[in-house]
Copies of this chain bind each other. A is one copy, B any other.
Amino acid sequence: LTCCAFQLNAADPLPSWNESAAKQNIIQFVEKVTSKDSPDYVPPEHRIATFDNDGTLWTEKPQYFQVFFAIDRVKALAPQHPEWKTEEPFASILKGDYKTAFAGGEAAVLKLVVATHTGMTTTEFEKIVNEWSKTARHPKTGRLFTQMVYQPMLELLAYMRSKGFKTFIVSGGGIEFMRPWTERVYGIPPQQVVGSSVKTKFEMREDGPVLIRLPEINFIDDKAGKPVGINSHIGQRPIAAFGNSDGDIQMLEWATGASGARFALLVHHTDAKREYAYNVGAVQALKDASEKGWTVVNMKDDWKVIYPPLKK
């Protein structure tokens, strides 16, 4: 089930990247901040790199994978909720009519989150996510969602770690939706995952202490929230940041807006054949990238492969 482990190739640490500017920019940056005699040298404790998740480390189409998770939970929980047969957004979700389900906008999403992501203990939720991550499959490719991660980005994570970087996820997705599988899939441990969250409450039960996931948003780790989440969890400014959309602009500004060598990269989804091609939600970020000199990955041209090979 573990799709993605691979050996770092010392001769070419980024073998799935074509020999284009994106790859050169990455390697030049890493070399200059890690070479002891470089004027841009950064000691290891400050080599902090932050990565958006959806659309940067794994695919985010036809919709965020966490939405598939929520839908799967609605289906699994429906027998305990006969009232959902007539209550939106659940009724439409159970009919497979997602357009109607999400016509309710933010209120519908919040209702869905509360029903599927809260009310249980953190341990119970971890178990639910873990099981889902090992069985749920993408509707188009049939791969496990955790096999829809980008092979070139897995290489990049491993390469940067081999050069003394600490790699963090900083995602608008749920922090506890990611943590159960990020170490296995990306090599990123739970304490290096930053994301959106609900409030939790400590409770002593007869069989031991628990944390209950409450039906209340605690933090939204998106847009201007990303530097806030970074500051809260990491406590220092990244020197490199990787994203794909307008939700990452502030994170990339935060990472690059200080003295010393800095690096920002946007993954641009240009590959309709091997993945998806779209600018929606990334128009401003792409404009900023060209104005500010952020590196833009053109998936179609810069990446030899998109997904990791599947084990037989």
Binding site for B on A (CB under 8 A): 45, 122, 166, 175-176, 179, 183, 189-193, 197, 200-202, 204, 208-209, 211, 218, 224-225, 227-228, 231-236, 250, 253-254, 257-258
Contact present for B208 and A231 (CB under 8 Å): no
Task: Give 5 nearest A-B pairs by CB, closest first.
Answer: A190-B235, A202-B224, A208-B257, A209-B257, A202-B227
Q: Contacts A202-B250, A209-B227; is A234 near B197 (CB within 8 Å)?
A: no
Residues of B within 8 A of A200 (CB): 228, 231-232
22 cross-chain CB contacts under 8 A: A45-B183, A122-B231, A175-B232, A179-B235, A190-B234, A190-B235, A191-B192, A191-B234, A193-B235, A197-B232, A200-B228, A200-B232, A201-B224, A202-B224, A202-B225, A202-B228, A202-B250, A208-B257, A208-B258, A209-B254, A209-B257, A233-B233
**8 Å CB contact of A250 from B45, B189, B209, B232:** B209
CB distance from A193 to the nearest CB of B (A): 6
Closest chain-B Cβ to A166's Cβ sits at a distance in Å of 7
Of A211, A227, A232, A234, the most chain B CB neighbours within 10 A belong to A232
User: With contacts A202-B227, A208-B257, A211-B228 known, is A236 near B45, CB below 8 A?
Assistant: no
User: What are the residues of chain B within 8 A of A204 when measuring CB–CB?
Assistant: 253
Q: With a 10 A CB-CB cut-off, give which of A209, A228, A233, A236 has the most chain B CB atoms.
A: A209
Q: Report B-chain residues with C-beta under 8 Å of the C-beta of A166.
A: 191
Q: How far is the CB of A144 from chain B (nearest CB, A)?
A: 22
Looking at the assembled complex, report how far the CB atom of A265 sits from the nearest CB atom of chain B, in whole angstroms.
18
B contact residues around A208 at 8 Å (CB): 257-258
